[in-house]
Each structure stands twice: as C-alpha cells, then as structure tokens.
Amino acid sequence: MDQDSTTPYSPANRLRPRSPNIQIYRPQLTSVLSIVNRISGVLLSVCALGLVIWLIAAAAGPQAYAVVREGIASWAGRAVLFVATFAFFMHLCGSLRHLIWDTVHGFSLRAIYLSGWIVFAASMVLTVAAWVTSAWIRR
C-alpha cells in the first residue's frame, strides 16, 4: 500500500518501513537444512508425476515404454534422476531428524549441528551408494 502522492507529506500518516529479513539474515545450517528439506519435498512431489508417467508407459505397451526408457537413459534423464535420488535421501534423513526432535531429543546446539552435518553427509553417501549398487546389479 503506497501513500497517495497528491496529499502533502506528514510523518503521522506515514507507513512504517519493515526492516529486511531474508535479504540480510545470514544463512546457517539450521535455516539452510530447513529450506533444503522443503525444496526436496517439492521436488519429490514433482518426481512422483514422472513415476506415474513411467508406470503408465509400462502399462501402455512396449513402444510407449521404449520412448520413456530412452528419455530416462539420456544424459539429462540421468541427471534428473541423480538429483531426485539425492533429494529422496536428503528428505528421508532430514525427516528422521525431525522424528527424533519430536521425542524432545537432540536439542543442544551441538546436537543440532552434529545431526545436521550427519544428515548432509549420509544423504551424499546413500546417493552414491544407490547409484553404485544399481550399476553393479545391471552389470
């Protein structure tokens, strides 16, 4: 809501500015992992549509399935799948951390930071492990 520029200026009817929040507040492990958990959740919801497309193609017949399979096997398809795998493990580990918090454990600042870095490291390890395992199975 802006002031009407035709009325004379008066401090009394002036709208107070709001001090900046997200624009200046320093990113910390706490806030970054929170937003990552949310973004990964949104990403996984979108990827669920991809899963449906894949299943519909499988039900529709070999030709449709071949098209989708080609898309997934492409360079871009693999990149999306890799990011989705990471998002999956990030969301899984982050949610487990939230489950532990719901039992009122792990609230010391040290525990918050330790569990935060563990979630991040575990998600990376699990993502790589999932891809290595799948490559090894298809060998």
Partner 1 sequence: MSRQERETFVMIIRSPEQVPRFTMLKRFPLPRNFGVSRNSRIARGRAWPVLAGAVRVKAFDVYRYDPDSPENPRIDTYHVDLDDCGPMVLDALIWIKNKIDPTLTFRRSCREGICGSCSMNIDGTNWLACTRFIDDTDNTAMIYPLANMPIIKDLVGDQTHLFAQYAAIKPWLRTNTPEPARERLQSPQQRSKIDGYYECILCFCCTSGCPSHWWNGDRFLGPAVLLQAWRWLADSRDEATAERLDDMRGTFRLYGCHTILNCTRTCPKGLNPGKAIAETKRMMLEHRD
Which residues contact partner 1 by CB under 8 A? Answer: 1-3, 9, 11, 14-31, 34, 98, 101-104, 107-110, 112-114, 117
- CB-wise, 6 or 23, nearer to partner 1? 23
CB 116 within 8 A of CB 29: yes
What type of residue is 9? Answer: Y
Q: How far is the CB of 28 from partner 1 (least distance, A)?
A: 6
119/108 Cα distance (integer angstroms): 16
Cβ of residue 71: shortest distance to partner 1, in angstroms?
31
- Nearest distance in Å: CB 8, partner 1: 10
Closer of 11 and 61 to partner 1 (Cβ): 11
Q: How many residues does the chain have?
A: 139
Whether the CB-CB separation of 40 and 32 falls below 8 Å is answered with no
Name the minimum Å distance from CB 79 to partner 1.
21
Distance CA(83)–CA(32), nearest Å, equals 17
Q: How far is the C-alpha of 26 from the C-alpha of 100, rounded, in Å?
A: 26
Eight-class DSSP state of 21: S
